[in-house]
Amino acid sequence: MDKLDSKQPIRVGVLGFGGLGQAAARVLSSKREMKFVATADLHGYLYQPDGINSDQAIKAHQDKGSIGHLGQLSENSIKELIQLAEVDGYFLALPNLPNTFISDVVDIFQAVGWRGVLVDALKRTSALELMLLKQESLQKAEITYLSGCGATPGLLTAAANIAAQSYSEVHQVEITFGVGIANWESYKATIREDIGHLAEFSIEQARTMTDDEIKLLLQSRNGILKLENMEHADDLMLERLGICSREQVKVGGIVDTYNAKKPLSTNVKVTGRTFEGKISTHTFILGDETSMAANVCGPAFGYLKSGFTLHQKKIYGIFTAAEIMPQFVT
- Tell me the catalytic residues: 123, 193, 197
Name the residue type at position 74. Answer: S
Q: Please report how close the Cβ of residue 1 comes to ligand NAD at its closest, in angstroms.
A: 29
Name the residue type at position 155. Answer: L
Question: Angle at which helices 211-220 and 188-196 pack, to 10 degrees?
Answer: 70
Q: Please report how close the Cβ of residue 295 comes to ligand NAD at its closest, in angstroms.
A: 7
Q: Is 189 in the site for ligand NAD (CB under 6 A)?
A: yes
Q: Is 190 in the site for ligand NAD (CB under 6 A)?
A: yes
Nearer of residues 121 and 163 to ligand NAD, judged by Cβ: 121
Q: Is 193 in the site for ligand NAD (CB under 6 A)?
A: yes
- Member of 218, 292, 297, 318 binding ligand NAD (CB under 6 A): 292
Q: How many CA atoms lie within 13 A of 143 on its CB side?
A: 26
Contacts for 298 with CB less than 8 Å, ≥ 6 apart: 27, 155
Within positions 141 to 160, which residues make up the interface with ligand NAD, using CB under 6 A?
150-154
- Among 6-14, 181-189, 204-212, 220-228, the segment contacting ligand NAD (CB under 6 A): 181-189
Nearer of residues 42 and 241 to ligand NAD, judged by Cβ: 42
Q: Please report how close the Cβ of residue 160 comes to ligand NAD at its closest, in angstroms.
A: 14
Nearer of residues 143 and 155 to ligand NAD, judged by Cβ: 155
CA-CA distance, 188 to 191, in Å (whole number)?
Answer: 5
Q: Please report how close the Cβ of residue 124 comes to ligand NAD at its closest, in angstroms.
A: 9
Q: Please report how close the Cβ of residue 27 comes to ligand NAD at its closest, in angstroms.
A: 13
Nearer of residues 13 and 16 to ligand NAD, judged by Cβ: 16
Within positions 12 to 41, which residues make up the interface with ligand NAD, using CB under 6 A?
16-21, 40-41
Binding mask 73-102 vs ligand NAD (x if CB under 6 A, - otherwise)? Answer: ----xx--------------xxxx------
CA-CA distance, 147 to 92, in Å (whole number)?
Answer: 10
Q: Is 252 in the site for ligand NAD (CB under 6 A)?
A: no
Q: Is 305 in the site for ligand NAD (CB under 6 A)?
A: no
CA-CA distance, 109 to 52, in Å (whole number)?
Answer: 22
Residues that bind ligand NAD (CB under 6 A): 16-21, 40-42, 77-78, 93-96, 121, 123, 150-154, 187-190, 193, 292, 296
